[in-house]
Copies of this chain bind each other. A is one copy, B any other.
Amino acid sequence: MCAGARSKGAACVGGATRSKRVPRAVREQQMLDAGVRAFARSGYQNASMDDIAELAGVSKPLVYLYLNSKDELFTACLRREAAALVTAIRAAVERGAPADRQLWSGLSGFFAHTAAHPDGWTLLHVQARTQGRSFAREVVAMRAEIVEFVTQLIGAAAREQARGAARARTLAGPEVSGLAHALVGAAESLADWTADPRAGGPSAKEATATLMNFAWAGLGNLLRGQGWSPERVG
């Protein structure tokens, strides 16, 4: 594989490889790009380091030199994609806006990011989950961060509502947490549909509108103390 690498500016010297023109940080990102694509499409077991090196346009020894092992490459891919997703959501949220507007902007950011990075989403949501405990932990931590963020948002909205209206019922902590889990699960499900090109799912914008309608018209009622109970119907 050294021939291909050399043609792109990396030199093979006795198994070790050194980039001449491309800085290491840039090369690493190219390797991670290739890794995300290969792992998302073939899974951890089936994706080969040969394929990943070829996709990245570098030699296999260079991939090992920079990222040590398939295991560490996979972890680096996961971390980068998880951080990018969390950053995209946080950047999209309109701080200081009313709670529903904050939620809407956050969901817009989430669906825009997952639609633009379907391989990254597949890596996080499908491939990472069963590839051993350490990989699962990375994703569980990222998901917990998102759930916590949504929990804070719903909690703040509930307190805001409670100050404004005497009728409003304060949602209990576990209930807020449950709603956040439900909302995150709903978003994941729609993101899977959006990210799968064969599924004929909605665009990022349509997914945002659907979930926002579903979630907020529901949350909005809950926050005003208008829940649903089986006793209401016959």
CB A218 to nearest CB in B, in angstroms, measures 2
Q: Of B185, B216, B218, B226, which contacts A189 at CB under 8 A?
A: B185
Q: Check: A64 CB closer than 8 A to any chain B CB.
A: no
Q: Check: A217 CB closer than 8 A to any chain B CB.
A: yes
Say how many copies of this protein the assembly contains.
2
- A222: chain B residues within 8 A (beta carbon): 213-214, 217
User: How far is A233 from B103 in the complex, measured between Cα atoms in Å?
Assistant: 12
Measured CB to CB, the nearest residue on chain B to A128 is B130
- A98: chain B residues within 8 A (beta carbon): 233-234
CB A77 to nearest CB in B, in angstroms, measures 15
Contact in complex: B186, A202 (CB < 8 Å):
no
Q: Check: A23 CB closer than 8 A to any chain B CB.
A: no
- Measuring CB to CB, which residues of chain A are less than 8 angstroms from any residue of chain B? 43-44, 97-98, 100-101, 104, 126-127, 129-131, 174-175, 178-179, 181-190, 192-193, 201-202, 206-207, 210-222, 226-228, 230, 233-234
